[in-house]
């Protein structure tokens, strides 16, 4: 089959690789119908996250079950399914608690020896614990497929941030980061009943999406000016709930400064750089909590899926460029250069 | 009157100061019946927290109302009352939310221009918002007075840590710090239903108290050896809830390392030093939350007081040395040299 392989920073190629095959009774082989490129893939693309030459890449995909291992009970050939961005066994204590990302048997698509999502097919370990079935009719609905693909990462990650930030009915919310995760954080906050949602971002195409997702205000300033602007909007106070969807020292510093005393930062931006951006003295004096991390999106799919299917929420506008598999290198360039927000792949 | 004054690091004196008097209609003047020395007072004593020469000190006290301003409604002369370690107006949005430490009109005993608790009397601003009435009969019960005095700080602070750490029935808990706050954290965790409570500490007199307060296990090791010991006790995992009651970079690092994936650190140790001890990459991968800060103990007193009065919980053993007011400098030396755990003052 053909799949995306990362050879070195900025050297991403689509090439022939071995066809996936059932290795364990709990495996499924899945034909990819839709995949996409994640902001976090760019860290590998830029060489800021280490990869071994020849690793696959891509961790967001949905598709059709093509073959099932003898121990798979929940899926049959032909099923339309979505995969979260890590696989998990579905039976351990962490999976039972909903923290599927801490499953001892879990793993990340594209890690050494595993398939990545940006290819024609994927061997899925622990399919019963990992995959979630979708209605077959969705396969012929382009818009809905894109919305459902967001369940593999960005929608669940935005939801995790909103949950970590403690969003509840009536909350004031501020969202740091105007990427697909930040925008999905806006959507998740709105879904959880936030009264006021301030999106921080300078790119109007993105903040326009933020508004359609539920943002009531947009702050285009950065750094100290952004802090002042948010506080002015909130009568001098910070926001009850702050979503940090970037992962840099500066973004975390901003997040701390715009959180109301007693509020929480829900952080889902993968931490980068040596500093945390956390001023613990300030957080202590003001009782600011920090909650979040890698999102156990598998656990959130059953809650979010009905709202996506009913159209109550529609994250599909985060995809602003659609390409074929052979164009994946072009897709990375477009996201790296910020000419695309999030790239959808039709293999 | 006589009160404790800090002139310079290690220069604490008990001396004549002006008698407190009603300045605002909402003031009360309180005759101190019991006060004590806090571990955080030692930061000032050691010169690690700045103080202006001549500032008062001491923020934990209870006593008898001696005079009330014309606007005070909740208290009468002769009432026995306890003060939390900050005053607060009781009427602002933060006070309504229970975050009394963020009250814009609030303040800390001993700050410039205010009385400290380690003296014969105190002018209490916003008395209706600040003070809590105690049963008059307690005034003649030495043991009970000591237990009630813990409501002014250490018991409520330990409770705040336990709440921040997310302790609930069945939780596994680890407590970093064997000072009075850490010990009260053990007590609070037990009260909230923790199933297993591991106290980290090397001083047997203190860990013995921890056991009477509810600790099921004691770990005397430090650093990496402590981490290994805690994980061995918990079958290789960390604790659901970790109480950080020290405030150093090393203690926070230990706290992160002994927290179970998906667990929380409730931190109440006043942060000291330049580093936070927080490895955000580890916290991200393992979804470890950080919650806590300066404890709004005023809000916790109504919940904790009945249990102290009934004897369900008795924090009085944290006081292992009782002195008169003139001996306060000796009390600081004893706590600084760790020959006393916590010093009770009878003015």
Contact B173, B118 (CB under 8 A): no
Query: What pLDDT shows up at residue A255?
Result: 97
Q: Is the pLDDT of residue A276 over 90?
A: no
Residue percentage of chain A with pLDDT more than 70 = 100
Reported as a pLDDT band with limits 50, 70 and 90, residue B265 is very high
Contact A291, A265 (CB under 8 A): yes
Asked if A288 has any chain B CB less than 8 Å from its own CB, the reply is yes
Reported as a pLDDT band with limits 50, 70 and 90, residue A19 is very high
B251 contacts on A by Cβ (under 8 Å): none
Which has the closest alpha carbon to A245: A263, A268, A276, A225? A268
Reported as a pLDDT band with limits 50, 70 and 90, residue B276 is confident
The alpha carbon of residue B112 is apart from the nearest alpha carbon of chain A, in Å, by 18
- Do strands B259-267 and B239-244 pair parallel, antiparallel, or not at all (unpaired)? parallel
Question: pLDDT by residue (tens digit) across A131-183?
Answer: 999 999 999 999 999 999 999 999 999 999 999 999 999 999 999 999 999 99
User: What does pLDDT average to over chain B?
Assistant: 97
Reported as a pLDDT band with limits 50, 70 and 90, residue B272 is confident
Query: Are B293 and A293 a contacting pair at CB < 8 A?
Result: no
Which has the closest alpha carbon to A58: A315, A323, A293, A245? A323
Query: What pLDDT shows up at residue B98?
Result: 98
Query: What pLDDT shows up at residue B161?
Result: 98
Question: pLDDT by residue (tens digit) across A37-82?
Answer: 999 999 999 998 899 999 999 999 999 999 999 999 999 999 999 9
- Most distant pair of Cα atoms in chain A: their distance: 61
Query: Are B287 and A94 a contacting pair at CB < 8 A?
Result: no
Which has the closest alpha carbon to B131: B186, B68, B179? B68
Q: Report the Cα B315 to chain-centroid distance in Å.
A: 11
Which has the closest alpha carbon to A271: A13, A49, A15? A49
In chain A, domain spans? 2-153+296-346, 158-292
Contact B343, B319 (CB under 8 A): yes
Over residues A318-343, the mean pLDDT reads: 97
- Ramachandran assignment for A26, one of left (phi > 0), alpha (psi -120 to 50 degrees), beta (any other): alpha
Query: Are A278 and B278 a contacting pair at CB < 8 A?
Result: yes
Mutate to test the interface with A, among B290, B294, B297, B299 (most CBs of A within 10 A): B290
Query: What pLDDT shows up at residue A209?
Result: 98
Which comes out higher in pLDDT, residue B272 or A48?
A: A48
Question: pLDDT by residue (tens digit) across B13-52?
Answer: 999 999 999 999 999 999 999 999 999 999 999 998 899 9
Query: Are B293 and A285 a contacting pair at CB < 8 A?
Result: yes
Residue percentage of chain B with pLDDT more than 90 = 96
Residue percentage of chain A with pLDDT more than 90 = 96
CA A72 to each of CA A25, A100, A231, A279: distance values in angstroms, whole numbers, following the listed order: 7, 19, 53, 48
Which has the closest alpha carbon to A12: A74, A64, A54? A54
Q: Is the pLDDT of residue A100 over 90?
A: yes
ipTM given for this complex: 0.96
Q: Report the Cα B232 to chain-centroid distance in Å.
A: 30
Fold of B158-292: Rossmann fold (3.40.50)
Which has the closest alpha carbon to B258: B280, B292, B232, B294? B232
Q: Is the pLDDT of residue B275 over 90?
A: no
Reported as a pLDDT band with limits 50, 70 and 90, residue A256 is very high
Q: Is the pLDDT of residue A191 over 90?
A: yes
Query: What pLDDT shows up at residue A270?
Result: 85
Of A99, A276, A283, nearest to B287 by CB-CB distance is A99
Looking at domain A2-153+296-346, its CATH class is alpha beta
Name the closest residue on chain B to residue A289, using Cα atoms: B291
Over residues B295-305, the mean pLDDT reads: 98
Over residues B133-149, the mean pLDDT reads: 97
DSSP one-letter code for B139: G
A286 contacts on B by Cβ (under 8 Å): 102, 293
Query: What pLDDT shows up at residue A202?
Result: 93
The alpha carbon of residue A304 is apart from the nearest alpha carbon of chain B, in Å, by 20
Q: How many residues does chain B have?
A: 347
User: What does pLDDT average to over chain A?
Assistant: 97
Q: Is the pLDDT of residue A126 over 90?
A: yes
Asked if A294 has any chain B CB less than 8 Å from its own CB, the reply is yes
Query: What pLDDT shows up at residue A166?
Result: 98
Query: Are A271 and B278 a contacting pair at CB < 8 A?
Result: no
Over residues A240-253, the mean pLDDT reads: 95
What does the buried/exposed string (b/e) look like for B280-309 if buried means 16 or more CB atoms within 10 Å of the residue's CB? Answer: beebbbbbbbbbbbbbbbbbbbeebbeebb
Distance of alpha carbon A34 from alpha carbon B195, whole angstroms: 47
Question: pLDDT by residue (tens digit) across B189-247?
Answer: 999 999 999 999 999 999 999 999 999 999 999 999 999 999 999 999 999 999 999 99
Query: What pLDDT shows up at residue A343?
Result: 98
Q: Is the pLDDT of residue B273 over 80?
A: no
Q: Is the pLDDT of residue B130 over 80?
A: yes
Over residues B115-132, the mean pLDDT reads: 98
For B46-189, list the strands marked E by DSSP.
Answer: 55-56, 61-68, 80-83, 86-87, 107-108, 121-124, 132-134, 172-176
Of B97, B270, B286, nearest to A102 by CB-CB distance is B286
């Amino acid at each position: 089959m053909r799949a995306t392989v990362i050879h070195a920073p900025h050297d991403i190629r689509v090439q022939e690789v071995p066809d996936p095959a059932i290795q364990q009774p709990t495996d499924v082989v899945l034909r990819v119908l839709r995949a996409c490129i994640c902001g976090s893939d760019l860290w590998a693309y830029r060489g800021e996250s280490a990869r071994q030459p020849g690793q696959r890449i891509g961790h967001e995909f949905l598709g059709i079950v093509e073959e099932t291992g003898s121990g798979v009970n929940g899926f049959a050939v032909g099923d339309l399914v979505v995969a979260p961005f890590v696989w998990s066994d579905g039976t351990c204590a962490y999976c039972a608690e909903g923290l599927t990302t801490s499953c001892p048997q879990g793993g990340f698509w594209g890690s050494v020896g595993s398939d990545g999502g940006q290819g024609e097919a994927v061997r899925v370990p622990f399919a019963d614990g990992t995959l979630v079935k979708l209605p077959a009719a969705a396969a012929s609905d382009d818009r809905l497929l894109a919305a459902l693909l967001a369940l593999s990462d960005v929608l669940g990650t935005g939801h995790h941030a909103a949950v970590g930030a403690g969003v509840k009915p009536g909350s004031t919310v501020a969202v740091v980061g105007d990427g697909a995760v930040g925008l999905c954080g806006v959507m998740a906050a709105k879904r959880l009943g936030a009264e006021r949602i301030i999106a921080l971002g300078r790119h109007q195409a993105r903040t326009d999406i933020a508004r359609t997702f539920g943002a009531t205000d947009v702050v285009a300033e950065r750094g100290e000016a952004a802090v002042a602007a948010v506080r002015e909007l909130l009568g001098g106070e910070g926001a009850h709930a702050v979503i940090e969807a970037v992962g840099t020292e500066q973004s975390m510093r901003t997040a701390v400064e715009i959180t109301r005393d007693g509020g929480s930062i829900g952080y889902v931006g993968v931490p980068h750089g040596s500093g945390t951006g956390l001023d613990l003295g300030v957080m202590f004096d003001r009782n600011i909590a920090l909650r979040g991390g890698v999102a156990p999106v598998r656990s959130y799919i059953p809650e979010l899926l009905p709202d996506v299917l009913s159209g109550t929420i529609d994250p599909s506008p985060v995809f602003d460029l659609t390409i074929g598999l052979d164009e994946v290198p072009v897709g990375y360039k477009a996201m790296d250069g910020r000419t695309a927000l999030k790239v959808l792949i039709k293999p």
